[in-house]
Amino acid sequence: MTTDVQTEILKQVAEIFDKNIPFHNLLGLNIQHYDKNGVEVVIRLKPELIGNIYQNILHGGVSATLLDVVGGLTAFAGLVSSRDDWTYEQLEKRLTTLGTIDMRVDFLRPGRGEVFTGTGRVIRSGNRVSVCSMEMHNEDGMQIALGTGTYLVG
């Protein structure tokens, strides 16, 4: 069961990540879906994001950033859904400490495509640290990159 507090804080987090973080705006990150059951973040290829001008492929740093954003959002959703009795203030305070501890990226294929979508899932959700798995696919469903991240959530 999703509480009003859980729904409201995740809505606020999506707004912050989608609209208020300058680097995300520079990249053109767009949160398509975010709730306690999942996240979907999209980046569209534009000339500024190309890493190989000869093959017209997405820069690996952009791929890693997309996976990291997905991981952070996934970790926070895992924290939010870990209890039904969170207050808005408790979750808001936790959000201010959200950060990446460690992340690994496996680049499986060159970043060919026009639209890249990142999704994630929680592997382990703890009170202070969460571990997530993230994937990035192009518009044809081809998996481009895979990530595993450890996130501070409290």
Query: What is the structure's pLDDT at 1?
Result: 64
Query: What is the structure's pLDDT at 69?
Result: 98
Could you list the mean pLDDT of each consecutive 10-residue stretch along the chain, which spans 154 residues? 87 94 96 94 97 96 98 96 91 94 98 98 95 98 98 95
DSSP assignment of 73-133: HHHHHHHHTT-S---HHHHHHHHHT-EEEEEEEEE-S---SSEEEEEEEEEEE-SSEEEEE
Which residues, other chains included, contact 149 with Cβ-Cβ below 8 Å and sequence gap of 6+?
67, 68, 71, 72, 75, 100, 101, 102, 103, 104, 131, 132, 134
